[in-house]
Amino acid sequence: MNARIRGTRVARSVTTLIGIGSAAVALVAGGAFWHSTAEASAASRSSTHTHSSTTSTSTPSSNSTDDSTDSDSSISTGTSPVTPGRSSDSPQATSSGS
């Protein structure tokens, strides 16, 4: 009864909902869910690199160290769905926590 739901089982469950009432269109997004990670991975050629940005306007309140790398070798080629914007642009939306 309380069997663990694996991703494949959920995927089948979701598939069965196609065409049922108002939920149908949501499956477009649901269908992209699992695909998108691989797609994003393929788009990223340096997924294992992180860097500490210098764009912060805040001053660290302590000298505590961080275990992340501080490399400039992050992605310089390839494609990404998110690209720089201009601060002079008026934003169409704001992504903030809720």
Which of the residues 51 through 70 are near other proteins (CB under 8 A)? Answer: 51-53, 55-62, 64, 66-68
Give me the least distance between CB of 35 and other proteins, in Å please. Answer: 7
Cβ atoms within 10 Å, residue 47: 12
Give me the least distance between CB of 15 and other proteins, in Å please. Answer: 10
Give me the least distance between CB of 2 and other proteins, in Å please. Answer: 5
Q: What is the footprint of other proteins within residues 13-42 (CB under 8 A)?
A: 13-14, 16-17, 20-23, 25-30, 32-42
Rule CB under 8 A: say whether 71 interacts with other proteins.
no
Rule CB under 8 A: say whether 97 interacts with other proteins.
yes
Q: How far apart are the first and last CA of the chain?
A: 35
Rule CB under 8 A: say whether 73 interacts with other proteins.
no
Name the amino acid, one letter, at 87: S
Distance of CA 47 to CAs 4, 25, 27, 51, 98, Å?
A: 31, 31, 28, 11, 28
- Identify whether the C-beta of residue 20 lies closer than 8 Å to the C-beta of residue 14: no
